[in-house]
Homo-oligomer: A and B are copies of this chain.
Amino acid sequence: MAVSKGSEPWILMVTARSPTNIAVIKYWGKRDETLILPINDSISVTLDPDHLCTTTTVAVSPAFDSDRMWLNGKEISLSGGRYQSCLREIRRRAGDVEDEKKGIRIRKVDWERLRVHIASYNNFPTAAGLASSAAGFACLAFALAKLMNIKEENGELSSIARQGSGSACRSLYGGFVKWVMGNDASGHDSIAVQLANESHWDDLVIIIAVVSSQQKETSSTAGMRESIDTSTLLHYRSKVVVPRRILQMEEAIRNRDFQSFARLTCADSNQFHAVCLDTSPPIFYMNDTSRRHVLLYSL
């Protein structure tokens, strides 16, 4: 068991901050719902954590008798499969931790029994289309990995964050990030890779206009499932359209070619909304305000 020199129950904490990311070639549709494996590659831009971000503190103490989490100050259940997947995968990889100053030593095997408390806070609207779950699960995976002294290799952490929320894997890197869909049924090759870091294109400015801070009527998870089941256009998109656009987008980013970058981003965003509309019953993530906005930025 974990030991401490003193007799008082100790606590060990890590705080991390993760930015949200905005896909420029969209992820929509899973081939495996449990492991969260997508039907196509996607590319995103990670925002500056000074603007839209999640801040998460994870704490471990022998005094905790269950895993608990607070989101924006309100306790939420960790019983969902996604939280359980993340916690399980993280714990499996936990290493020895030693804090000499505090006189704490936790061995690898102790982590199975130790419970964690998690406090997470978004500085932007939650579940309103701003990828709060991406920032949230990236931050959770990252903070827990630090707390449990996990040595990250080959995008393994992005693969764990992915099991919390698909697009979370992309928030573990700055700059321009590609989530490679992978081929393996285990999902080990479905990871995020950085295409270019945040200094590659530093005069690119992203403006986030919040047209509504209400929660989405349809969650991404439910929406994707319905699109997979009912949209005839989605499969053509993922098999034919996206692979071509991924190559074009990688080239646009490499060359800092704003015109191609903007054209592809707009076209792919609109195609994602088109697939939502092609779903039965149709899903709408735009309203008349965003509609006017889209018209403006496509000119």
A contact residues vs B (CB 8 Å cutoff): 230, 232-233, 236-237, 240-241, 263, 266-267, 270-271, 273-275, 277-282, 284, 287-288, 291, 294-295, 298-299
Extra inter-chain contacts (15) besides given A267-B278, A281-B295, A287-B291, CB under 8 Å: A232-B237, A232-B240, A236-B236, A263-B280, A267-B280, A270-B280, A270-B282, A271-B277, A274-B274, A274-B275, A274-B277, A280-B298, A281-B298, A282-B294, A287-B288
Given contacts A270-B277, A277-B273, A288-B288, are A282 and B295 in contact (CB under 8 A)?
yes
In the bound assembly, the distance between CA atoms of A279 and B291 in angstroms comes to 13
CB closest residue in chain B, given A235:
B236
Which of B233, B288, B294 is the one whose CB lies under 8 Å from A236?
B233
Contact B270 A278 (CB under 8 A): yes
In the bound assembly, the distance between CA atoms of A266 and B232 in angstroms comes to 14
In the bound assembly, the distance between CA atoms of A281 and B267 in angstroms comes to 8
Q: Which secondary structure characterizes the binding site on chain A?
A: helix
When distances are taken between beta carbons in the complex, the residues of chain B under 8 Å from A281 are 266, 295, 298-299
When distances are taken between beta carbons in the complex, the residues of chain B under 8 Å from A263 are 280
In the bound assembly, the distance between CA atoms of A294 and B278 in angstroms comes to 12
When distances are taken between beta carbons in the complex, the residues of chain B under 8 Å from A270 are 277-280, 282
When distances are taken between beta carbons in the complex, the residues of chain B under 8 Å from A266 are 280-281
Which of B241, B279, B282, B288 is the one whose CB lies under 8 Å from A232?
B241
CB closest residue in chain B, given A263:
B280
CB closest residue in chain B, given A298:
B281
When distances are taken between beta carbons in the complex, the residues of chain B under 8 Å from A278 are 267, 270-271, 274
**Closest Cβ–Cβ distance, residue A103 to chain B (whole Å):** 60
10 closest A-B pairs by beta carbon, nearest first, are A281-B298, A274-B274, A274-B278, A274-B277, A236-B236, A270-B282, A288-B288, A232-B241, A233-B233, A271-B278
When distances are taken between beta carbons in the complex, the residues of chain B under 8 Å from A233 are 233, 236-237, 241, 271, 274
In the bound assembly, the distance between CA atoms of A230 and B266 in angstroms comes to 12
Which of A230, A240, A263, A291 has most chain B Cβ within 10 Å?
Answer: A291
Which of A273, A278, A280, A281 has most chain B Cβ within 10 Å?
Answer: A278
A-B contacts, 21 of them at CB < 8 A, read A232-B237, A232-B240, A233-B233, A233-B236, A233-B237, A233-B241, A233-B271, A263-B280, A266-B281, A267-B278, A270-B278, A270-B279, A274-B277, A274-B278, A280-B298, A281-B299, A282-B294, A284-B291, A284-B295, A287-B288, A288-B288
